[in-house]
Amino acid sequence: MNFTNFDLDQLFSMGDDSNPLLMIVWILPIILFVFYGQQIQLFVTSREIKKGLKKLDNFREESRTELINYVKNNLKVKNDPVKKIDKFLEYFTIMPVDMDPNGIVDKVHHTVRSREDYTRSHVKSLSPEMNDIELNKIQTLLEIASSLQMIYKIVNHMFLTAKKQNNYPLILPLQMLLPFIMEQAEAMIEAIPAFKSDQPVGDGIGPMVVGKMMLEHEKETIAFQTSLSKIDFEDRKLFLLKAEGPASTVGRPADGLEKIMSENKIDAIIMIDAALKMEGEDSASIAQGFGAAIGGIGTERFQIEAVATTNNVPIFSIVVKQSVKEAITLMTEDIADTAEIVRLQLNEMILENTKSGQSVVIIGVGNTSGVPQ
């Protein structure tokens, strides 16, 4: 055969619409995409999600192993702790029914507190001689491991359901949410070394500012794991409140505030906390505002707002912006450097918003790991 005069135009008859071979070449993919488009998209998306799931599974296993190794190597445990730890990791919390929202905050508050107390007493049973710093550390590590376990289970459930039903639209929300979920999970796994070594995390900037002001002053425990110091500043009385460091805890600032306000006449409340920055905002930038700056499930904020409203006291806030990862991993130099600037801004805020002879409560909100007072 002579292949030297091979003509592509002639083979597909580009100028002729009636060639059946050309029609098949064009029509076949169209039919394929019309009838099997979703399955093809499902296949491509599944591959992406599988990669994320594998990472989440590794994170879950790594956090569990880190926790078990820490307990085995640093605590005097009587029996093998693996079974108990695995049982802790499976604990769940059923939130109260909110069909009738009346009294829901008290119910949530009670459920969360009960869970905290129950976990604390059971973690303590691993090694009854462990001190409070170790106990808080194990609780934090347990919280990280159980959160990663829960994230993996939920993502895996959504993925397997979509695959089982061969349902592409069902997998779409997961594909959209996965980058955010991965960001949170990566932050959690990277937080483990900081908590294990009692180092300050980004969220500890509020306690760091207040803790420094409390140095060399008398301290008292005002609420569970919450410390109070009373100092004088420019003819004003300051009540400094923070979680009891250097243990990894956020304390109970709302209970502390309630107690202070029941015994003293307070004229202003100032809260210092870390806040999540928006995309495009600079990390470690400082902002001032009104209202209670405190995260969590919302019960502490509710309690603080309620006590401030009842006593007609304004709440001012200073926040240091940071990402999710920066908030729970070892503090960056930029964030640590803001401590002095925040302190100067706090002094200004006190002088601008209160008069001579008045009293102010200053709350350093956040995890106080590695931050004593």
Partner 1 sequence: MIFSKKKITTEYTVEQCTKCGTLTKRKFNHGDVLFATLLKCASCDGHTRIEKIFGETVEQ
Answer yes or no: are the C-beta atoms of 60 and 149 closer than 8 Å: yes
Q: Can you tell me which of 52, 246, 364, 366 binds partner 1, judged by CB under 8 A? A: 246
Region of 76-84, 226-234, 333-341, 354-362 interacting with partner 1 (CB under 8 A): 333-341
Residue 211 makes contact with partner 1 by CB under 8 A: yes
Residue 197 makes contact with partner 1 by CB under 8 A: yes
Residue 215 makes contact with partner 1 by CB under 8 A: yes
Q: CA triplet 189, 194, 198: central angle to 5 degrees? A: 140
3-state secondary structure of 6: coil
Q: How many CB atoms lie within 10 A of CB 213?
A: 20
Residue 332 makes contact with partner 1 by CB under 8 A: yes
Residue 330 makes contact with partner 1 by CB under 8 A: yes
Residue 52 makes contact with partner 1 by CB under 8 A: no
Residue 198 makes contact with partner 1 by CB under 8 A: yes
Handedness of CA 135, 187, 242, 209 (dihedral sign): positive
Residue 254 makes contact with partner 1 by CB under 8 A: no
Residue 204 vs 256, nearer CB to partner 1: 204
3-state secondary structure of 35: helix
Backbone angles phi, psi at 275, to 5 degrees: -130, 150
Q: Can you tell me which of 336, 341, 343, 353 binds partner 1, judged by CB under 8 A? A: 336
Question: From residue 251, how far is each of 65, 105, 245 by CA, in Å?
Answer: 27, 19, 9
Q: Is 94 left (phi over 0), alpha (psi -120 to 50) or beta?
A: beta
Q: Can you read off the two tokens belonging to residue 356?
A: 């001579």
Residue 143 makes contact with partner 1 by CB under 8 A: no
Angle between the 168-196 and 132-165 helix axes, to the nearest 10 degrees?
160
Residue 208 makes contact with partner 1 by CB under 8 A: yes
Closest separation between CB of residue 196 and partner 1, Å? 10
Residue 9 vs 218, nearer CB to partner 1: 218
Q: Can you read off the two tokens belonging to residue 159?
A: 């993925």
Region of 8-16, 191-199, 256-264, 305-313 interacting with partner 1 (CB under 8 A): 191-199
Binding residues vs partner 1 (CB under 8 A) = 194, 197-200, 208, 211-212, 215, 245-246, 329-333, 335-337, 339, 370-373
